[in-house]
């Protein structure tokens, strides 16, 4: 093929200077390496397996899940293994000195005692003191709160009360105060973040516009949307046209911004696991009725095993920006994030100028398929016109 342009000698110095000028011109080219990539790493089962295989160069933060609550205090439920896990995670900083390690308190199974712990000034003070003591003792970088949920039911048996709405805010105020006090003593900056239910009921039972002034990031749990009797996406970016009236990430972002949260504090959630169900006999797929729930799997198993089984086909919902699997013979349905949907979420995060992404949980994709997709997308250079 002939060159359509006249051939001229290339001035190497001029070319370098021109490229440097392009990079420095505002609005022309912008790298996205400032986005956070937060991994929830589970220690609630005991010792974390294969810690040395965590790809920390592609992460900015690790949230250790979870620290429990006992007698209104942050409590290491499995202190022997928690202690080992903390040391192992901190050691990862040898590979990535900018990595931040936080404790995440609560979670779905251990949120039942938050309400009591936040009921008075005295109990909130004691809770904050105990949480700050843990990160001080193990040389960690901050605290993440995963209260599921303030002022509304979460797991069966959880205590919740109307006062949680205000006490949720006061909890962060006290935590921030004590973290700032620790910072004055150690001259180290400490982070305060929270994982939140990414749906209207969470926003309506909290004061997120007040909470945001105390926290660095708000991690939107934009997954597990599939509870109900219909086969829907559990982690869709947008609303699907195949069904109506269900949650999605885009709506969640709008809800929190409307509540007074700056969009640059919001972190998009990505699911490293899939939800599964068996549909009714006459079902054709997405939006149809569920007969029974089935076992879900992490993405590595979905990609390497499930998709290699006969009859398990991937379907793409272009409106929701979400893929799903349906086997018309066995009637098994899977909803999950894959490389394609992850790239769409990262693109959304960058376009909205959100803080970045987080995911639950690292162990569900040990081969790193989705983390690789995040890394490639989030560090991709974007070209913008002035």
Secondary structure in 3-state letters for 335-347: ECCCHHHHHHHHH
Contact 222, 321 (CB under 8 A): no
Q: Which of 79, 148, 165, 353 is catalytic?
A: 148
- Distance in angstroms (rounded) separating the CA atoms of residues 90 and 100: 9
The residues that bridge with 42 in the sheet, in sequence order, are: 65
Tell the burial category of 58 from Cβ atoms under 10 Å away from its Cβ (0-12, 13-18, 19+).
middle
Tokens for 38, please give them.
Answer: 């937060």
* 212 CB neighbour count, 10 Å cutoff: 21
Structural element, H or E, at residue 372: helix 369-378
CA dist 204 and 129 (Å) reads 29
Q: How far is CA 8 from CA 3, 5, 11, 17, 371, in A?
A: 11, 9, 9, 18, 43
Here the tokens at position 313 are: 């086909």
Q: Is the preceding omega at residue 361 within 30 degrees of 0, hence cis?
A: yes
| Distances, alpha carbon 297 to alpha carbons 94, 129, 382, in Å | 32, 38, 34
Q: Are 55 and 371 in contact (CB under 8 A)?
A: yes
Q: Measured between alpha carbons, how far is 299 from 290 in angstroms, rounded to an integer? A: 22
List the structure tokens of 3: 């060159």
148 is catalytic: yes
Task: Report the b/e string of 323-348 with b at 16+ CB within 10 A.
Answer: bbbbbeeebbbbbbbbbebbbbbbbb
CA distance 290 to 277: 7
Quickly tell me which residue has 């100028």 as its tokens.
353
Known catalytic residues are 148
């Amino acid at each position: 093929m002939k060159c359509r342009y006249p051939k001229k000698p290339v001035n190497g110095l001029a070319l370098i200077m021109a490229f440097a000028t392009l990079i420095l011109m505002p609005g022309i080219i912008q790298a996205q390496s400032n986005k956070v990539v937060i991994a929830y790493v589970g220690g609630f089962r005991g010792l974390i397996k294969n810690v040395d295989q965590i790809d920390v160069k592609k992460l900015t933060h690790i949230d250790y899940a979870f620290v429990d609550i006992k007698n209104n205090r942050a409590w290491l439920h499995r202190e022997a293994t928690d202690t080992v896990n903390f040391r192992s995670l901190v050691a990862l900083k040898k590979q990535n000195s900018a990595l931040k390690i936080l404790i995440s308190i609560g979670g779905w199974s251990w949120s039942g005692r938050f309400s009591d712990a936040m009921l008075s000034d005295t109990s909130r003070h004691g809770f904050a003191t105990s949480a700050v003591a843990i990160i001080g003792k193990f040389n960690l970088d901050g605290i993440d709160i995963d209260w599921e949920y303030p002022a509304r039911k979460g797991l069966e048996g959880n205590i919740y009360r109307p006062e949680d709405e205000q006490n949720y805010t006061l909890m962060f105020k006290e935590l921030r105060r004590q973290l700032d006090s620790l910072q004055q003593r150690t001259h180290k900056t400490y982070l305060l973040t929270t994982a939140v239910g990414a749906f209207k009921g969470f926003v309506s039972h909290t004061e997120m516009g007040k909470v945001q002034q105390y926290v660095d990031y708000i991690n939107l749990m934009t997954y597990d949307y599939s509870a109900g009797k219909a086969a829907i996406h559990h982690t869709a970016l947008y609303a699907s046209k195949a069904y109506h009236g269900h949650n999605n990430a885009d709506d969640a972002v709008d809800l929190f911004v409307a509540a007074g949260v700056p969009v640059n504090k919001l972190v998009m959630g990505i699911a490293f696991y899939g939800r599964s169900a068996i549909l009714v006999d006459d079902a054709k797929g997405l939006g149809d009725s569920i007969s029974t729930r089935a076992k879900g799997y992490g993405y590595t198993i979905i990609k390497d095993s499930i998709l290699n089984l006969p009859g398990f086909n991937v379907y793409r919902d272009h409106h929701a920006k979400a893929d799903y699997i349906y086997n018309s013979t066995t009637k098994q349905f899977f909803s999950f994030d894959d490389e394609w949907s992850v790239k769409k979420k990262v693109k959304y995060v960058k376009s909205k100028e959100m803080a970045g992404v987080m995911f639950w949980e690292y162990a569900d994709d040990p081969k790193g398929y989705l983390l690789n997709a995040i890394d490639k997308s989030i560090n991709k250079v974007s070209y913008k016109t002035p």
